[in-house]
Chain A
Amino acid sequence: MSNTKIIPVGPYHPLQEEPELFKLYCEGEIVKDIKWETGYNHRGIEKLAESKTFDQVFFLVERICGICSTSHPFAFANAMEEIAGVDIPNRAKYIRSIIGELERIHSHLLWVGLAGHFLGYNTVFMWAWKYREPILDLFEMITGNRNSYAMFKVGGVRRDIPMALIPEVRKAMDGFKPKLDLLIGAVMDDPVIHARTKGVGVLTHQDIIQFAAVGPTARASGVDIDVRRDDPYAAYDMVDWKVIVTGEGDVFAKAYVRLLEMVESVSIIEQCLDGLEKEPEGDTEVKVKNIPEGMGTGRAEAPRGEVFHFVVTDGGYGPVRHKIRAPSYVNIATFKKSCIGQTISDATISLAAVDPCYCCTERMAVAVDQRTGNMLYSGEDLLKLSHMKTEEIRKKQ
């Protein structure tokens, strides 16, 4: 342990679902162990949910995570509808799916941008975030807010997508497709990105099973799971789409899965719009007066993986117990496997690949020599290390 240096990364990362502190135990440049500490973002949501009515809980769970702010209401609505035993109208199903997929697009774009930033491709960062803006505009048009959409309620959706708005959504999707192709081309054909991400942060099929990882992290390692297909909810069994699975398990595979998922999302949205045109306008909810006593589980596929909600009701106005499991909770544990044995410059992108959304410039990341207490690396230095490696590879190409 005498040569081991600790590099704390965190705890404040403006883009993460949960601010948390990672300690990288390094010997030379090789990461030997990793530990993490959470709790900076604890808000007591499960307890708060017990003090709110069912309608209010939607606004609360929406604010668990701002990036996947539809997945949690989605899962909660699924749980509540299981308890109440209601089947929502088709129009509401389509609208739910549209919102869910738009969210997936904006979340994956956000990730692609950040991954580019870590590799020293700030152009990719700026591009991806620029193309994300029309998606947010679409959200604002449909729901009235750029994030936190407040679209869900027990038995349906709060707002309809009027027929007049459908061509607008189609136009935005048509405008987005060439940009997505451009972005996919930029990532897939770039030899430097290949060199930086292939074989880095590999998670095998076995690792995923052991860590119970979910979402794109699992699908990039050949584990074929997707709640949208395995336990269909909303309109996902009424449209034609496929689950993107690849086997390599490295950072490149995770990028590949996310990029192609966006193509699928666009296709799902377009099919939902077709379905929406056939349904009568305004048929967006079933009135649910009383929620009976019971227990219900709801699952939804968030951009990062499976969201799971368990709700117990006693026939009153609010839940008596509300248990939530978010995807990052299990995915973060895979760092134990993906980062150990890597160089520090690769650790940054390996951590980011799971999409806890790492962003380096705004963070305090400092390496401290254990014996002397001298600071060795700041967050910017870490980023610089990563950028330097990219530069070297670029020169060799």
Chain B
Amino acid sequence: MAFKDFIFRKSLWLFHFGGASCNNCDIEILDCLTPRYDVERFGMLLVGSIRHADVLLVNGSINHKDKERLLELYRQAPKPILVVAIGACGCTGGIFAGGYPFAGPVDQIIPVDAYIPGCPPKPEAILSGIVQLIEKKKTEKAHA
């Protein structure tokens, strides 16, 4: 596992999956790329294919139509992959949890490594969450 952990230490590439969300989290994720937050200084890049990604960002509540696609994406993802649930909906289902199309929060569908709560989380929170995830991976390696 040492080599796999090494992969997560620098330049994480992110793939973004927007479920049935209200778009706020999507915008805030994109906001991370723009000059004020500039996530690329950490070597992070949003990529167009899950096959290039180290991290899968999932936001929004997941409905039945999304569920199949999320499972398929997770299956296609190169392992190991870190999954980050973003926003209240990603973490618990949020305000949409009672609805009939709701197929469960992200962690009931695929394993989740980090949760970033907020509605929507500020770009600072998203950055801090992912940086903490990297830190966690580093310390895990130190203990191993």
For B94, list chain A residues within 8 Å (CB): 63
A47 touches B99 (CB 8 A): yes
Residue A41 CB within 8 A of the other chain: yes
User: Is there an interface contact between A66 and B26, defined as CB atoms closer than 8 Å?
Assistant: yes
B 31-75 to A, binary, CB cutoff 8 A, 1 in contact else 0: 100111000000000111100000000001101011001000000
**Would B101 and A15 count as touching, CB distance under 8 A?**
no
For the complex, is A193 an interface residue (Cβ under 8 Å from B)? Answer: no
- Min CB–CB distance B105 → chain A (angstroms): 13
Q: Is the CB of B65 within 8 A of A40?
A: yes
CA A378 to CA B48, docked complex, whole Å: 9
Secondary structure class of chain B's binding surface, majority of residues: mixed
Partner of B49, one of A14, A48, A130, A364: A364
Q: Are B22 and A66 in contact (CB under 8 A)?
A: yes
Chain B CB within 8 A of A24 CB: no
Q: Is A110 an interface residue (CB 8 A)?
A: yes
Distance to closest chain B CB from A312 (angstroms): 20
Interface extent on B, as a size class? 35 or more
Size class of the contact patch on chain A = 35 or more
- Asked if A39 and B65 sit within 8 Å, CB to CB, the answer is yes
B1 at the interface (CB under 8 A from A): no
Q: Which of B16, B19, B69 contacts A362 (CB 8 A)?
A: B16
Residue among B34, B65, B98 making CB contact with A42, cutoff 8 Å: B65
Residues of B within 8 A of A359 (CB): 30
With beta carbons under 8 angstroms apart, the residue of A62, A110, A130, A363 that contacts B48 is A363
B48 touches A41 (CB 8 A): no
Within the complex, the shortest CB–CB distance from B119 to chain A, in Å, comes to 6
Contact B46 A362 (CB under 8 A): yes
- Using CB atoms and an 8 Å cutoff, list the residues of chain B in contact with chain A: 15-31, 34-36, 46-49, 60-61, 63, 65-66, 69, 94-96, 98-102, 119-120, 122
| A-B contact sample (18 more), CB < 8 A, given A15-B30, A48-B96, A362-B46 | A12-B18, A13-B18, A14-B23, A15-B26, A42-B65, A42-B101, A43-B61, A43-B96, A43-B102, A44-B100, A48-B98, A63-B24, A63-B96, A67-B27, A126-B34, A133-B36, A146-B120, A148-B24
